[in-house]
Structure 1
């Protein structure tokens, strides 16, 4: 593997690509604790816990992402992160508030969707039961 000054990072959510770009370093948190990755770090895979992912871009600018559980794969000079939910914020102070409000809203939307699906399933079962009662 060649030595590189930065790595390409992709932070993906089920519905969109939250971040794509170069990073000089990355900090994240797994079940066994926080860790950092530099461009020439050994390849590995780990499960991420709900936490903050901190990216330092080659120009020194830091980007903060609040994520839900996910998976990180480092291969060569590429880091792929897949998370259920995520949000970017300009700083750590506002990130906490944005994550709380955004994730709470998503939880409410998921709860409404699950309730609607349950009603559809119950209606379908009732309709199949009524078909059985019909004479041939």
Structure 2
């Protein structure tokens, strides 16, 4: 099988001869073998692992993403961020924890942004009231 893992800025993995692949979506871990049915799923923050043609295990930490299998021979993963490596322990401890911390930071920033937007809307609404209450310069 051919495996391709891409981010918006680069091709992280482009490998032929993949014998098997393991990944994880919201329902849990799953495997892909040659001649797998066409498949599309959304990945969670996890480590994708595969067995290459030379029998070695390879790994890539992904920050969510979309995995597709086409024609039973092509596996494509599109993700926001990916880090390939040969040491599973390092990827698990450092990269995945950084991905999770980044997600939490983004969540906090999104909440704060929403709070600022709502406050701006309240201010605008207060100045646009038809009865003139709260409008600047009203008596």
Would you say 1:12 and 2:6 are equivalent positions?
A: yes
Q: Is the contact between residue 10 and residue 17 of structure 1 (CA under 8 Å) also seen in structure 2? A: no
Give the direction of change, closer, same or farther, for the CA distance of 1:104–1:33 in structure 2 (3 Å limit): closer
| Partner Cα separation in structure 1 for residue 56 and residue 28 of structure 2 | 27
Mapped contact 2:5–2:14 kept (Cα < 8 A): no
Q: Classify 1:68/1:37 alpha carbon distance in 2 versus 1 (closer, same or farther; 3 Å).
A: farther
Asked which structure has the greater CA Rg, the reply is: 2
Assess if the C-alpha contact under 8 Å between 1:68 and 1:84 holds in 2.
yes
TM-score (structure 1 length as normaliser): 0.67
2:105 counterpart residue number: 109
Query: 1:34 aligned to 2:30?
Result: yes
- Select which of 17, 28, 37 maps to 1:24: 17
The CA RMSD measured in Å over matched residues stands at: 3.0
Structure 1 segments unaligned to the other structure (5+ residues): 1-5
- For structure 1, which segment, 65-74 or 86-95, has the greater mean C-alpha deviation from structure 2 after superposition? 65-74
How do 1:41-120 and structure 2 match up within 5 A?
Answer: 41-47=35-41, 48-58=43-53, 62-76=57-71, 77-83=73-79, 86-120=82-116
What's the TM-score, normalizing by structure 2?
A: 0.65
2:122 aligns with one of 115, 123, 126:
126
Once residues 15 and 90 of structure 2 are traced to their aligned partners in structure 1, the CA distance between those partners, rounded to angstroms, is 24
Alpha-carbon contact 1:55-1:62 (below 8 Å) kept: yes
Answer whether contact 2:38 2:69 (CA < 8 A) is retained: yes
- Number of aligned pairs? 126
- Alpha-carbon distance, 1:46 to partner: 4.0
Unpaired segments of 5 or more residues in structure 2?
130-134
